[in-house]
Amino acid sequence: MVHVLSSRTLLHPTDPERSRAFYGERLGLAVYREFGEGPERGTVYFLGGGFLEVSGRSETPPSPALQLWLQVGDVTGAHEELRAQGVTIERPPVREPWGLVEMWISDPDGTRIVLVEVPADHPLRYRPGI
């Protein structure tokens, strides 16, 4: 059996400096650790219960199948903050038919980032009788 102690998503951007500026400065993700030197050095950011490592360089952007799902406490507040930071909002916060409030943005390589708020009355937070 595999006993996972920690996990991270590895992202090899086409322009590492641009991606570090996006994730670190515009999104404001806290740095867990940094390693290496030069423009392709690695930076690992906290992502709640996991990590995002931006390191190396790729000649092509990540597949559109890759998406980041980030739960936040207040998606409307995140919308206002990110818009003020100049982040392009692909879709403002919308309450989905399944009850979550989602907002969509993309990183500089086009990786979709879904910011999600789980409302207090949603079954993910509260299940009567359980």
* Greater model confidence, 121 or 130: 121
At 122, the pLDDT band (50, 70, 90 cuts) reads: confident
pLDDT at 125 over 90: no
Instruction: Give me the mean pLDDT over the 59-65 stretch.
Output: 93
pLDDT for 7: 85
Instruction: Give me the mean pLDDT over the 35-56 stretch.
Output: 93
SS3 content of the chain, % helix, strand, coil (to 5): 15, 35, 50
Q: What is the mean pLDDT of the chain?
A: 92
pLDDT for 80: 96
pLDDT at 112 over 80: yes
- The 8-class DSSP code of residue 124 comes to T
pLDDT at 106 over 80: yes
Instruction: Give me the mean pLDDT over the 92-97 stretch.
Output: 96
Pairing of strands 50-54, 67-71: unpaired
- The 8-class DSSP code of residue 17 comes to H
Please report where in the chains the tokens 């219960």 appear, as a residue.
49
Sign of CA dihedral 62, 36, 40, 30: positive
